[in-house]
Structure 1
Amino acid sequence: MKKNNSDDSELAQITREIRKLQFCFNMLSGLSASCGVMIPLDSIHTLIRELSDQEVTLRQKAKDHSDDLG
């Protein structure tokens, strides 16, 4: 049971980080468009994608765990 709580906490943390990064990405993208300058956003996009992959993996583990219990 302790492992499941740890996974839930990690999932919540990843979700918060994704939201923060998406906010930054959108702000910088808007700033780039309004100022007419090119701001490199590849690194932020890569981080969002990597965290999203981790989120999917944790959600799948949680689903598999709940399926095993039920």
Structure 2
Amino acid sequence: MQFNSFSDFIAMGGYGFYVWLSFGTCALILLSIFLDSQFSHQRILDAVAKQLDREARIKKAKQESK
């Protein structure tokens, strides 16, 4: 499809509202998935670090009690 002007491109032959709404919705969904995965990754790393600290404290307490 060829457009004569930028406003024709934005209008998309009368379907611009639906086209740009779908693009915006898709971009919003992809951004939310990306951000959620980043936050989940950080939560997992924090949980692993806490678990390692707990295991180290337990091991140290067992060695001190012997």
TM-score by structure 2 length? Answer: 0.54
Question: What RMSD, in angstroms, separates the aligned Cα atoms of the two structures?
Answer: 1.4
Gaps of 5+ in 2: 1-22, 60-66
1:20-39 equivalence runs, <5 A: 20-36=42-58
Runs of 4+ in 1 over 3 A off after TM superposition: none
Q: Which structure carries more relative contact order (alpha carbon 8 Å, separation 6+)?
A: 1
Unaligned runs of 5+ in 1: 38-70
Number of matched pairs? 37
Q: Give the CA deviation at 1:10.
A: 0.2
**Which whole-Å deviations, capped at 9, do the CAs of 1:6-61 have from their partners, x for residues lacking one?**
00000000000000000000000000000119xxxxxxxxxxxxxxxxxxxxxxxx
State the structure with more CA Rg. 2
